[in-house]
Chain A
């Protein structure tokens, strides 16, 4: 199987403090990986580093995506190669409608792939949007709301999944997408992720504290992150073991 995202010996510092201390991880298309770890283990640092957040400095190691070293690329260039990050706490952008935002994002993606590509026609975009929203059982009016502005926690996560469904990434990183979600919202989110997996063979990296979401999105590989290092890897059974025994058991 072709490896899409390869992380080798990754060391990341925030304000000169080393958080990640040599991560190795390979994700191929279609695979679901879960990174589990307690608070402060470096889970979110990993997601921010993959996307090039300016506050997270890669001091050693490499991140390659589709064979290209992406460490020096800006976040938008990484995204336009086919990476998507669903945020733990999605940001509110008042005054920007979800619909027009997505249209611009899709156009940016197209132009990145082919500078001569034509912008999406309004009708073409509307059809895409409506079918994505139908598939996720979302109300049509959702697209006319300002991005995450005044949204409940569940609505924000659904909006993340809608963005993912529209941008059709090759690999999605879901950063604590299950935090603060009730079971219904969790179902919408996992339905969306599973749909994209079946449609486009998307690879997924789930970053989570709790094993709950893994009942809805079955992982192929589970990794336990402790103090900036992957200390144990295994299959889905590992998640169940953690659920039963907690993180102390792997130490």
Chain B
């Protein structure tokens, strides 16, 4: 019997399963200064963090909703629960046995403990606002790698966190949702890889929302020191309630000189979710950042991972897949700022839309006046799976140095009936042929994921496609 892949049997029930959420009845809906102060007090945070939160709250209230992208007017900030945690959890367990049964079962079905055993250097698992499990394998701990729940990191390494937290990378006032995030952030992941350490196995965190109207605001801070190397994988999901939920995470990545970092994510929120996420990396000389992302599920997604190439010869790789199904808007893309000479970037985005869904590629490539010999390539391919879905490409290029070589290619197309016929004459049904062509379409991105996660990505696309063909 061939060994099964860990994520091969993921099914809709796993994502849609709702655990008891009576704890949410006690939680407050809507946002207030009192709540922000309570979060900070509950977490016994230093004053400077409370100041960041209060500044975030003020700026959130001041800033208007962005008007350049998706319509967010239906998002009711007053019904969202900004902070909630199940009653009986012990935070930051080092053993899955200490995680409450229903929560452990959720993560079991998502394949997380098994992946940890088989192939990961460390795992974090967040449920609602709190991290329920976080563990780094000893061999990496010995080398000085720090992989912690963000709340814990703030307690244990306050100076390190203070130096990097929402200052240089994503400032508190960057935009309305960054400000909101600063005000109510909870949980998330802190990764510190010391100089020269190469973490050869991926690290993963999984973020699960469970209750109705939940908001999740995890903060991810990754510091990859000079010459170090790491790969972090993020997974997310939530059940569907027919009421809005909100995810506004913030990811800050610091890639130092000659370091390499890959950030892979498979976001699979429910169709009720507004996924308004900020991801950004600052990359120094000879450093390399790679973003590999799959966006599925959520109702409205706005996500444009950004790379700031600050040192010579730094490189950014942005690879993404977005799937917009019924009632979904995937507004995703990439931003690359070439601020130093000889920096290079490569963007490859694949979008799928079906069932009336809309996928939008929104990209920015900017070259600073003093940055010489920049090479930037962007490719955006859209596959539209029926007659009533759509795809838009909005590339923006600001090139202020004439030595730059910048290319953008975009294509949009449909599954060709002739191609389907060709595959059918080999014995594949119409649905199998279509699925095969979709897998082929996303293959250039999927092949960059570790095998198990490539299987997961294909499985999620398969679930999205169910019932849509034939």
Please tell me if the beta carbons of A93 and B423 are within 8 angstroms of each other in the complex.
Answer: yes
Known contacts: A93-B419, A93-B423, A95-B442. The answer to whether A76 contacts B430 by CB under 8 A is yes
| Listed A/B pairs (8) with beta-carbon separation below 8 Å | A74-B429, A76-B433, A79-B427, A91-B419, A91-B423, A93-B440, A96-B443, A167-B427
Q: At the interface with chain B, which of A18-26, A102-110, A208-216?
A: A102-110
Interface residues on A, range: 20 to 34
- Docked Cα-Cα span, A152 to B430, in Å, equals 27
Residues of B within 8 A of A90 (CB): 422
B425 within 8 A of A: yes
**CB pair B430 A95 closer than 8 Å:** no
Bound form: Cα–Cα A138–B154 in Å:
60
Would A104 and B436 be within 8 Å (CB), given that A90-B422, A91-B422 are in contact? yes
Report which residue of B416, B424, B426, B441 has the largest number of chain A beta carbons within 10 angstroms of its beta carbon. Answer: B426
A13: Cβ under 8 A from any B Cβ: no
Across-interface contacts of B441 in A (CB, < 8 A): 94-95
Interface of chain A residues 81 through 99 with chain B (CB within 8 A): 83-85, 87, 90-91, 93-96
B interface, size bucket = 20 to 34
- Nearest A residue (CB) for B440: A95
The minimal Cβ–Cβ distance linking A163 to chain B, given in whole angstroms, is 6
Q: Is A17 close to B, CB under 8 A?
A: no
Please name all residues of chain B whose beta carbon is closer than 8 Å to the beta carbon of A83 when the two chains form the complex. 425
> Does A54 lie within 8 Å of B417, measured CB to CB?
yes
When C-beta atoms are compared, the residue in chain A nearest to B445 turns out to be: A95
In the complex where A76-B430, A91-B418, A122-B2 touch, is A51 in contact with B425 (Cβ < 8 A)? yes
Minimum-distance CB pairs A-B, first 5? A95-B440, A95-B443, A75-B424, A96-B440, A91-B422
Q: 1/0 per residue A51-72: CB within 8 Å of B?
A: 1011000000000000000000
Is B439 in the interface zone, CB < 8 Å from A?
A: yes
Distance between B265 CB and nearest chain A CB, rounded to angstroms: 21
Is A247's CB within 8 Å of the partner chain B? Answer: no
On whether A104 and B428 interact (CB within 8 A), knowing A87-B422, A121-B2, the answer reads: yes
CB of B442 within 8 A of CB of A105, answer no
Query: What would 4 more interface pairs be, CB under 8 Å, given A76-B425, A147-B440, A167-B427?
Result: A76-B427, A91-B422, A101-B426, A105-B427
How many contacting A-B pairs (Cβ < 8 A)?
82
Binding site for A on B (CB under 8 A): 2, 416-419, 421-430, 432-433, 436-437, 439-444
Complex: A27 Cα to B443 Cα, angstroms: 41
Closest approach, in angstroms, between the C-beta of A40 and any C-beta of chain B? 20
A80 at the interface (CB under 8 A from B): yes
What is the distance, in angstroms, from A147's C-beta to the closest C-beta of chain B? 8
Which of B416, B424, B425, B443 has its CB near the most chain A CB atoms (within 10 A)? B425
Identify which of B416, B418, B426 contacts A105 (C-beta below 8 A): B426
Judge if A146 is at the interface, Cβ distance under 8 Å.
yes
CB nearest neighbor in A for B419: A91
Q: How far is the CB of A2 from chain B (nearest CB, A)?
A: 23
Name the distance in Å between B48's Cβ and chain A's nearest Cβ.
49
CB distance from B4 to the nearest CB of A (A): 12
- Our pick among B424, B427, B430, B437 for the contact of A93 (Cβ within 8 Å) is B437
**Measured CA separation A147–B432 after assembly (Å):** 16
Identify B437's interface contact among A54, A76, A96, A108, CB under 8 A: A96
**Chain B residue at minimum C-beta to C-beta distance from A47:** B425
CB distance from A221 to the nearest CB of B (A): 24
A236 within 8 A of B: no
**A54 neighbours in B (Cβ, 8 Å):** 417, 421
A185 on the B face (CB < 8 A)? no
A85 to B421: give the CA distance in the assembly, Å. 11
A238 partner residues in chain B, CB cutoff 8 A: none
Are the CB atoms of A85 and B437 closer together than 8 Å?
Answer: no
